[in-house]
Structure 1
Amino acid sequence: MNVKQLLRCICASTLLAAHVAGAEDAPAAASPPADTVFISKSAPFLDEGLIAKNIIEECGLPESQIKLLREKAEKSGVSLSENEAAVAGMTGKVLALETTNAISSGNAFVGHRKQVAVRGKLFDNGAEIGNFLAIRNSMGGIGAGFIGSCAVLYRCQGAIAEDILKWLKNPIKDARLGDQ
């Protein structure tokens, strides 16, 4: 072996040893806390045929329900994690949500009627441990004539998110949440 080959071998060995040592010192990827509840990226419509076309096209309710739930979870101390693989495999605690209904009728002159209904099931490694139906209604509130329909529906979803987070702290079967 000549000097050049020997130096290459020493350099390669040194780099490999440094890499292995660095890998041992590197922290492991953080795993979610044991009480984390896995959710999907949306709460899809159970049947789009039941929902007005303008709501489907303009409001994005399936995604906004999850967004509001995640935002409020941080403040309520509930650990949620979007994880499609865990949801599909029913691995760990999984909250499956679907939007069963959304109504947006009325106007500033005759009054508004808005409603969102969400059904959820909580699973622990595939076994159902609780379920609910959550419904929230709104007539728009003060200044409703100046608030868009989607914004009022989002308010309903925000209230539903708070209801779900309270329920997750003590899940039961056949719970009725919200305005019912």
Structure 2
Amino acid sequence: MRFLSAFALLSSTLFLTACGGGDQNVRLQNAEPATTDAIQTITIARVTDIQSGPHISQAALNECELQTQFPELLTQKAAEKGITVQTTTDFDQTEKGYQLAARYDQIISEGNPFIGHRKFTQIHLTLYKDGDKLAEADLGRHSGGGMFAGYKSSCSVLGRTVEANAEDATLWLQTPVDKARMGNL
């Protein structure tokens, strides 16, 4: 009986850890939103920028479609919350209305289906209204592929982190607090 209890505890702990540990959004205490207006429409670049440096997996960029995946997923997730996301090839934060600049600061892709995945994506967002900067946020999510998830590809597991980033971005757009850090940061 003791063995079964220990096994159940270990299994649930591994499951939660592998799935990213649940909702770990970080809120700023006593922080005021950058705008009290409900954002209904926002424009974002069709291709997400990349911060150059050692924390970007070039192999992941070459193999996966991460740069177009975030705007696509943000469009879907935001629509569920009543926010229309327009994508453009000529992003200009000085345009009228709400503009959202997005940049990957980290893309870490380690491991594989046989030894386990260790994936992480971090996105930096800057929200503008009519050319004026309102707020910035950093969103980071990790995944190990999930317990008993089968043999998932690196791009599939990275895609799960990007999807969680898009969910966090949607939540932040509902109450855009400056210098917010969300997810697994």
> Are the counterparts in 2 of residues 136 and 156 from structure 1 also a CA contact under 8 Å?
yes
Letter of the structure 1 residue corresponding to residue 57 of structure 2: A
Aligned length: 147
2 CA distance for matches of 1:97 and 1:139? Answer: 24
Q: Percent identity?
A: 31
The structure showing larger relative contact order (alpha-carbon pairs under 8 Å, at least 6 residues apart) is 2
> Are the counterparts in 1 of residues 168 and 183 from structure 2 also a CA contact under 8 Å?
yes
> When the two structures are superposed, what TM-score results if normalisation uses the length of structure 2?
0.73
1 CA distance for matches of 2:57 and 2:89? Answer: 28
Q: Which residue of 2 aligns with 1:29?
A: none
Q: How does 1:144-163 map to 2 (within 5 A)?
A: 144-163=149-168
Letter of the structure 2 residue corresponding to residue 106 of structure 1: G
> When the two structures are superposed, what TM-score results if normalisation uses the length of structure 1?
0.75
Is 40-49 or 58-67 further displaced after alignment?
Answer: 40-49
User: Alignment partner for residue 110 of structure 2, among 105, 126, 143?
Assistant: 105
Q: Over aligned residue pairs, what C-alpha RMSD do you find?
A: 1.9
Q: Highest Rg: 1 or 2?
A: 1
Higher helix share: 1
Structure 1: gaps spanning 5 or more residues? 1-33
Q: Which residue of 1 aligns with 2:78?
A: 73
State whether structure 2 residue 101 is matched by structure 1 residue 93.
no
Match of 1:140, SS? coil
Deviation at 1:176, TM superposition (A): 0.1
State whether structure 2 residue 128 is matched by structure 1 residue 123.
yes
Structure 2: gaps spanning 5 or more residues? 1-38
List per-residue Cα deviations over 1:122-165 (Å, max 9, x = no partner): 00111111110000000110344510000111100111101000
